[in-house]
Amino acid sequence: MTRFARLDPVALLALPAILYLAVVYGVPLAGLLARSFVVDGAFSLSAFVAFFSDGFSWTVIGNTIRIAAGVTLVCLLIGYPTALALARAKGAAQALILVAIILPLSVGVVVKAFAWQIVLRRDGVISQALIFLGIWDEPQRLLFTEAGLVLGAANVFVPFMILPIYSVLKLIDPRLTEAAATLGASPLQRFFTVALPLTLPGLVTGVAFVFSMATSMYVVPSLLIGDRFQTLATLTGRSFLFMRNEQLGSTTAVVLLVLSVAVVVASAALSRRFGGET
Amino acid sequence: MGEAPTGAAGFLNVSAAEKTFGAARVLDGVDLSVARGEFISLLGPSGCGKTTLLRIVAGLMRPDRGRVVLDGQDITTRPPHKRDVGVVFQNYALFPHLDVRANVAFGLKARGAPADTIASAVSRQLELVRMSALADRSIKALSGGQQQRVAVARALAVEPKLLLLDEPFSALDRKLREAMQVDLKRILRDVGTTAIFVTHDQDEALAMSDRIAVMSGGRIEQLGTPAEIYDRPATAFALGFVGLSTRLPGRVTQADGDEVVVSTAFGPVRGLGRFLPGSPVLVGVRPERMALDGRGENVVRATLVDAVFKGARVQLHFHAPEGAEVQVEAPSLPAGVAPGGEMTLSFAAADTRVYPLPGDMEAALAAQVAA
């Protein structure tokens, strides 16, 4: 009671959200996760032992991390320059870019994934463009390949990379870059010694967002790469929906959760370390 | 137009610089020549173009027209990192993710100087600005005055050909500002750096500069030593912006060689200037040139409104019946004079300057004629 009295009263405003999450999210999740630790009505780690001793599980974990890392990298390469352009733009141009980034979020993931199916086909835009540029000799299918999945998923998640970087960028005094220039730093040096370190908190947040979302995506891989390629998220879904193996499903869910939480915690720690300096 | 700017042999030459933002002409053909080792101030109200001129010299902005030549090289289109021009920004713009030492080392590091050269240069600069003890501090842990010193050290560490200072003291309180002025002058004299100092504070400009460029409306109104600017303002703007003055609108009644007689609210006043009879003009006199003893060609009677004790001197504000105001500065308040009393003031024609009437004072002249 005395502990509670010392709490900032404003913190009580978070109570509805906490109650909501606890009842409709926390309790069912705990129930689901608990199932992975229960074998034949008793506590056991045998489900995890079985999971980790299966070579296929490691392939799935590898797939998950590889795809998520690829998606994060593509989002970073596209998102950082976009965030820079957004921060530099003024007035109507800035509003336009912002709308162009946020509006696609309202288009459902399923719709986007189907659209990417068309783009990634053997006779799709990308294939034709690469042939036109002379990079490919003959039409190739990107659909149902890892590269196609990374491209399509990056499109879905790139706003979550742009927005945190942008929100940090716009707080940076433009005079800092000018000061670096007058001190003799070339544009490239300015980027690596001033802009990049100062945007690191936003960058870390964006990476955490995109990476954790990409590890847990289900619809996009289902439509863009299919069942032959399994990630932790699709395997969890399959276990529950098709294989009716709740033990396996809850086990993969725990592994996925641990992976995501590790990324979020690590990035929060990194963000705090650099965030204090901006 | 088209002629070589005067003093083309200067260390820095800006010629016919123009800059327009949308419909606003921020720089309207500025010529400026700065000698090596000189400390020059750009003085003017906000919006006069002084910061724009500074940014053009630094390379942070391109002029629409005109040239910038530094040390014999045309740098008009050269990017800032290849100019060798240091800048101390108004808000200091220190790198928040680096400590004091790393901030000062930044420029030398960017130029790829060897580590031991950097280390000795940094400690030398920090000593110069008396910040050696705080070398490992975070920027955020510094006071405004300390940040200012670091900013100066950082700019000087690369030994720039030219140092630009953009209102570096405006965020400091009065006492600290005066201490920093003395300090900065000492530092720049020690280093021998050529410097351009942007300020809207006339006291700062008068105290620190070898020469002052008074700017208004994108032009340099007058370029001269502090004494020249104060004693012989070239334009009505320079008269009004630097120091106190009595300013009376009037009309020339008689031209007499280098002198004219102007009909003002006080009656005829004789002053220096060449105008045709009938010209609308402004008569200006500095407060310390006004005498309370009745000696001098020009004599006016006015009512004392207020006396402000300034320590060594007294500032007296007078009102004339016609609404004109007269500023007088005297060593002391004469005995027997109190606010509300009428006095005879006098000033010599040689201390009275006559300027073309500025546009914004035409109404005052019209009102005076109507009365």
- Let me know if residue A36 belongs to a domain: no
Q: With beta carbons under 8 A apart, name residues in chain B contacting A183.
A: 81, 86, 106-107, 110, 154-155, 158
Whether the predicted model's global pTM rises above the 0.90 cut: no
Task: Say yes or no for a CB contact (<8 Å) between B155 and A194.
Answer: no
Residue A94 falls inside a structural domain: yes
Residue pair A198/A239 in contact by the 8 Å Cβ criterion: no
Residue A16 included in any domain? no
Residue of chain A nearest B95, judged by CA positions: A176
Distances in Å between the Cα of B31 and the Cα atoms of B3, B61, B211, B370 are: 11, 17, 14, 41
**What's the whole-number average pLDDT of chain B?**
90
The CATH number assigned to the domain holding A124 equals 1.10.3720.10
| % of chain B exceeding 70 in pLDDT | 96
Tell me which chain A residue has its CA closest to the CA of residue B99.
A277
Predicted pLDDT at A163 = 95
Give chain A's length: 278
Which CATH code, of 3.40.50.620, 3.90.120.10, 3.40.50.1100, 3.40.50.300, is assigned to B12-236? 3.40.50.300
A68 pLDDT above the threshold of 90 = yes
Answer yes or no: is A85 within a domain.
Answer: yes
- Cβ neighbours of B87 in A, within 8 Å: 178-179, 182
Helix H, strand E, coil C: the string for B47-75 is CCCHHHHHHHHHCCCCCCEEEEEECCEEC
What's chain A's Rg over C-alpha atoms? 22
Judging contacts by C-beta atoms under 8 Å, the chain B residues touching residue A186 are: 81, 110
**Stretch A171-184: mean pLDDT:** 94
Q: Indicate if B244-370 has the same CATH topology as B12-236.
A: no
Asked if residue A10 is part of any domain, the answer here is no
**CB-based contact B202:B29 (threshold 8 Å):** no
- Which of A168, A178, A183 to substitute to test the interface with B, most B CBs within 10 Å? A183
Query: How many domains does chain A fold into?
Result: 1
Could A182 and B155 be called an inter-chain contact, meaning their C-beta atoms sit closer than 8 Å?
Answer: yes
Any chain B CB within 8 A of the CB of A59? no
Band of residue B28 on the pLDDT scale cut at 50, 70, 90? very high
CATH number of B244-370: 2.40.50.100
Instruction: Say which residue the tokens 């990634």 belong to.
Output: A120
Decide if A164 is inside a domain: yes
Residue B85 in contact with partner chain A when CB distance is under 8 A: yes
Q: Residue B74 has what pLDDT?
A: 95
Do B155 and A198 count as a contact with CB atoms less than 8 A apart? Answer: no
Nearest-Cα residue of chain B relative to residue A199 = B97
The predicted structure's pLDDT at residue A275: 54
* HEC per residue, chain B: CCCCCCCCCCCEEEEEEEEEECCEEEEEEEEEEECCCCEEEEECCCCCCHHHHHHHHHCCCCCCEEEEEECCEECCCCCHHHCCEEEECCCCCCCCCCEHHHHHHHHHHHCCCCHHHHHHHHHHHHHHCCCHHHCCCEHHHCCHHHHHHHHHHHHHHCCCCEEEEECCCCCCCHHHHHHHHHHHHHHHHHHCCEEEEEECCHHHHHHHCCEEEEEECCEEEEEECHHHHHHCCCCHHHHHHCCCCEEEEEEEEEEECCEEEEEECCEEEEEECCCCCCCEEEEEECHHHCECCCCCCEEEEEEEEEEEECCCCEEEEEECCCCCEEEEEECCCCCCCCCCCEEEEEECHHHCEEEECCHHHHHHHHHHHHC
Average pLDDT over residues A105-128: 89
What's the confidence (pLDDT) of residue A150?
95
* Chain B interface includes A180 (CB < 8 A): yes
Residue A169 falls within a domain, yes or no? yes
- State the Cα–Cα distance between residues B232 and B241, nearest whole angstrom: 13
Whole-number Cα distances in Å, A140 to A112, A114, A119, A193 = 21, 18, 12, 42
pLDDT of amino acid A277? 44
Say which amino acid occupies B233. P
CB pair distance less than 8 Å for B83 and A182: yes
Tell me which residue range forms the domain holding A262. Answer: 55-275
Higher pLDDT, residue B324 or B113: B113
Quick check: A217 and A233 in contact, CB under 8 A?
Answer: yes
Model confidence at B2, pLDDT cuts 50, 70, 90, reads very low
Instruction: Tell the residue number behind the tokens 């400390």, with chain if given.
Output: B39
B147-160 pLDDT per residue, tens: 999 999 999 999 99
A222: in domain: yes
Asked if B106 lies within 8 A of A183 by C-beta distance, the reply is yes
pLDDT above 80: residue A181: yes
Min Cα distance B95 → chain A (Å) is: 7
**Domains of chain B: which residue ranges?**
12-236, 244-370
Q: Which residues contact B300 (CB under 8 A, 6 or more apart)?
A: B266, B267, B269, B320, B326, B344, B345, B346
Residues of chain A positioned with their CB less than 8 A from the CB of B96: 176, 198, 277-278
Residue B371 clears pLDDT 60, i.e. is over it: no
Give contacts of B 91-120 with A, CB under 8 A: 91, 93-97, 106-107, 109-111
